[in-house]
Structure 1
Amino acid sequence: MPGKRKKTPSGWTTINCPMCTTNGQSRPDTRSRGGFRFVDGMVYHCFNCGFSTSYKPGRTFGKKLVGLLRGIGVPDNEIRRLQLLAIREKENNPQEEEKPKRKVSWKEIQLPKGSKPLIEIIKQDTPSEDAIWVYKHIIDRGLDHFGDFYWCNDTYLDLNRRFIVPFYYNGATVGYTSRLIDNNKDKPKYFTNSQPNYMYNMDVLSKKRKYLIVVEGVLDALSIDGLAVLHNKLNQMQIDLIKEFDGEVIVCPDRDAAGSTLIDQAVENGWSVSFPPWQDHIKDCADAVKNYGQLFTVKSIIDSRVNNKTKIEVLRKIA
């Protein structure tokens, strides 16, 4: 890809989006709001104008993809060559018949008004004091390796004292959660805008990996690149989506009474359950990463997984 680009911790390769002025924006993007993700193909999404397109092997090029390629400076003769290659690949390598996957979709939404990437705000000459305290909280929790936090200065629902985590699906923003940094029992810790059946970090279901770690909360999932169910109980649609993962599913519930329901569902569906030997004050994956680091936490979850129903019943009573 030509021009300035950078790789974010969450897996996006960002560029100045070439499509903004043709999608309702008054001026070109200069803040690298366009992003590519390459997982079993390519997904492109602009977080400024909302333009999105994708490509997977075995498919031909659509008009939006051709427009994007022209926008980033790919010559027409090269685009035609790539189109022919895609057609030949589709003809010569017909896709194996796959079991039908459930069709899911969620409407695209906007983050709270004025939301901007937190790291961009922190790099300003005079960032907001609230933004500084929010970022310090993230560092203290050991989550600063994750670069996709947002922030806004709106005092409604104390958003200026929260960090915002976007919910994505196929490159589009479909929800978010915001976490309060202050210890105030009179205010809700989380304010979440989530659509039915959605699970945080759903793109992980399509990744080619050996294990899928299923957890309850967003911070748990982003700390270990797992899948968060956002509640302590899965519905049937979510169970069916998880079953499409081609690997071993490991449920790592919170260490409280609420986590018991997820354990029951893991047993019912033949998934593994992990009871890592963490210290008593460690309540979930996010706490574990804060205390032990990401690598040790993930390894301890995998090493402590159990798939035997009797062993699970015993361990849940003593964990």
Structure 2
Amino acid sequence: MTSDILANKKFCFVGAGAMAGAIVGGILRNKLIAPENISMIAPSDATRNKVKALYKGVVVSAAASNVLPAADVVFLAVKPQVAPEVMESIKQYLKPTGVLVVSVMAGFTVAGLETALDGKQQHRMIRTMPNTNLLAGHGCVGYSTASNVTAQDEAVVNKIFGSLGFCAKVTEMQLLGVTGLAGSGPAYVATFIEALSDAGVKNGLPRALSNKYAFHTVFGTAKLLLESDLSTLQVKEMVCSPGGTTIAGIEALEKNGLRYATMSAVNASAEKSLLMAKSKV
């Protein structure tokens, strides 16, 4: 059942929210790791009961002391605002010989993680930026590493996140772009889909049907681009007949600033991520 690179390792998730659940669910669905080799830390009874019901065989605990000492790979998956307190409380339970720490928290640099967890740098830090689409098994993940991370450590991250979508190593500065584009991107795309559906309703379609057309139009376009050698420009040209309906719509998009608004949204998200990281160094 267990993939070779992941064999004989214990994995612990500090946090049991949506992102941790998406990763654990994908691991189990793809049979990468045996459930008994995965533990999740959740402080509330309600969350622990939910996790136990969803992920059969996974060890669920309220206390870090019960599961962290055995962990070889630790995923940090708590909200950024509580992360400093959580990291301070768990660092005493990490193996003194060193563990791989994979952060899925926004705003924490590799250096910030090392300062919070690892004064002597015995642990190996990988900072990731996953997006919400992991929930559907079609996510995007960018990651950057500390200098002491090994090739095997990277293989672990690539094996897990690669099973849930697209995964690539980038520099830590490039993670700002990943955050603005892929991390925040599902919200931008959802807003665009919502606008498409609203326009369909304005033009006489029932809401449910308009939603379906909007969903499948965006999904099909992305699939076409991913599975062919066509560029975005080529796809646009395929649809835009001279003097036709689509080029009239494209003109309206350009007049109303869709391109600039999209780039501004990505830039704003990236800048906010940088500010958050600076505040935690």
Relative contact order, higher structure (CA 8 A, sep 6+) = 2
The structure where helix makes up a greater share of residues is 2
Task: Report the TM-score, using the length of structure 1 for normalisation.
Answer: 0.27
